[in-house]
Amino acid sequence: MALVWTLLMLVLGIFQLAAFQAGLADWLGFHWVVSIIIGAVALMLGPLGSLAVAIVGFFGAMEAWNWEWWQAGLLCFPSLVLVAVLTAVNGAAGLGSLIFNRGR
């Protein structure tokens, strides 16, 4: 199972870097080699660099690939989507517990 998860994360990362490259090429006209070097340097900067890559990738997917905003969001910010879904499930479970345990 860990191998499958690792492969999925690797594929997701490749698509995110491709969206980042498309964003820089569309926005600033950079060659793909320069875009990959900039992306690698940004990812080495830690969380702030990763956020920059995600934002440029988001706009790259929207503008260069003509994706809808929610599709680009799923690609570049999958953790936020997961947090939103888990928060909704947790809230529904809490509400269900409140309703069904009220009479006890």
Confidence of residue 104 (pLDDT cuts 50, 70, 90): low
How many C-beta neighbours within 10 Å does residue 62 have? 20
pLDDT at 1: 86
Confidence grade of residue 89 (pLDDT, cut at 50, 70, 90): very high
28: confidence class by pLDDT, cuts 50, 70, 90: confident
The C-alpha angle with vertex 27 and arms to 66 and 69, in degrees rounded to 5, equals 35
Element (H, E) at 27: helix 2-28
Q: Using the 8-state DSSP alphabet, how is residue 46 labeled?
A: -
Question: Taking all residues of the chain, what is their mean pLDDT, rounded to a whole number?
Answer: 89
pLDDT reading at 60 higher than 70: yes
Contact of 25 with 31, CB cutoff 8 Å = yes
